[in-house]
Amino acid sequence: MPVTCGNCDKKAILKRPKTGDALCKECFFAAFELEIHHTIETARLFSHGDRVAIGASGGKDSTVLAYVMKVLNERFNYGLDLVLLSIDEGITGYRDDSLETVKRNQQQYDLPLKIVSYEELYGWTMDAIVKEIGLKNNCTFCGVFRRQALDRGAMLMKCNKIVTGHNADDIAETVIMNVLRGDIARLRRCTAITTGMEGALPRCKPFKYTYEKEIVMYAYFKKLDYFSTECIYSPNAYRGHARTYIKDAEAIRPSSIIDIIHSGESMAIKKDVKMPVQGRYFN
């Protein structure tokens, strides 16, 4: 017997990974979008008139983010000026292909797009860096460069905020990694929905509570155009272990992802606790 949607009388065609609810396509879209709207409203991520750069890599998270930001901005009248901002790390066979996806998204969503490259900003591509230093620590360089490049690109586009597609699974992974490393300073920062207030530009994560499986499901049913290849220089084994752990925990109890984020939030250290100085360790 066909299962009926838990929200209307249509036929259910999916089971929501986050809640286990049987839903029709339309009710899933509505629930998914409304939860993100709720996150945005509760955390007061934006103000009317903000010009927001959407960090767009062509991958599933940022493609869904660009689409949903546009939908919500129009539906709820946020009054945001949205632009796409892509970083070209200079990784042949990976970023060049994913940037083609972003260029198509620009047409599909009718948003302005700026691409800034490591080469123009720093005189180095990631291909050249990996050739020089090998595969060890390459992601550390790349991460620092990307953070700066996003700031520089957003400033060039006269944006006052950046949004990124970090999802609940990413944040739960980071919580676990920081617990395993005993890095309490990072543990305090990693669950924040907005970071970078002290630096150049605030960055927000509207997908903080959005499950990766639901992002994939949304992209699939909406037939969004995204790029799904992993970076060829991605040796981050430690994150890989945290990821496997999160997925195993999710399989046993879907709420594990949110539970880990909430645990990370409640373990956050009070502001007046003395923190270790970053990058210095004493025996």
Q: Give the gyration radius of the chain's Cα atoms.
A: 19
Indicate which single residue of 117, 148, 234, 263 sits in contact with ligand SF4 (rule: CB under 6 A): 234
CB of 142 to ligand SF4, least distance (A): 3
CB of 94 to ligand SF4, least distance (A): 7
Q: Which does 138 bind (CB under 5 to 8 A by kind): ligand SF4, Zn ion, none?
A: ligand SF4
Report helix, strand or coil for 50: coil
**Considering only CA atoms, which of 122, 177, 168, 173 is closest in space to residue 146?**
122
Helix (H) and strand (E) counts in the chain? 11, 8
Antiparallel, parallel or unpaired: β 194-195 and 203-204: antiparallel
Indicate which single residue of 93, 134, 143, 240 sits in contact with ligand SF4 (rule: CB under 6 A): 143
Q: Which is nearer to Zn ion, 27 or 149 (CB)?
A: 27
Binding mask 74-93 for ligand SF4 (x = CB under 6 A): ---------------x----
- Whether 153 and 85 have beta carbons less than 8 Å apart is answered as yes
Sole window of 134-142, 147-155, 220-228, 254-262 interacting with ligand SF4 (rule: CB under 6 A)? 134-142
First to last CA, the chain: 65
CB of 237 to ligand SF4, least distance (A): 12
138 binds ligand SF4 per the rule CB under 6 A:
yes
C-alpha angle 52/110/151, rounded to 5°?
30
CB of 231 to ligand SF4, least distance (A): 3
Q: Which does 143 bind (CB under 5 to 8 A by kind): Zn ion, ligand SF4, none?
A: ligand SF4
Give the total of residues touching ligand SF4 (CB under 6 A). 9
Give the total of residues touching Zn ion (CB under 5 A). 6
CB of 167 to ligand SF4, least distance (A): 16
Site for Zn ion in 7-36 (CB under 5 A): 7-8, 10, 24, 27
CB of 213 to Zn ion, least distance (A): 19
144: CB partners within 8 A, 6+ apart: none
Burial class (CB in 10 A: 0-12, 13-18, 19+), 262: middle
d(CA 91, CA 174): 25
d(CA 58, CA 17): 23
Q: Which is nearer to Zn ion, 27 or 175 (CB)?
A: 27
CB of 89 to ligand SF4, least distance (A): 5
**Considering only CA atoms, which of 80, 64, 77 is closest in space to residue 112?**
80
142 binds ligand SF4 per the rule CB under 6 A:
yes
Indicate which single residue of 67, 78, 218, 233 sits in contact with ligand SF4 (rule: CB under 6 A): 233
> What residues pair up with 54 in beta bridges, in sequence order?
84, 163
d(CA 130, CA 125): 9
8: CB partners within 8 A, 6+ apart: 24, 26, 27
Q: Which is nearer to Zn ion, 221 or 245 (CB)?
A: 221
126 binds ligand SF4 per the rule CB under 6 A:
yes
Enumerate binding residues for ligand SF4 (CB under 6 A). Answer: 89, 126, 138-139, 142-143, 231, 233-234
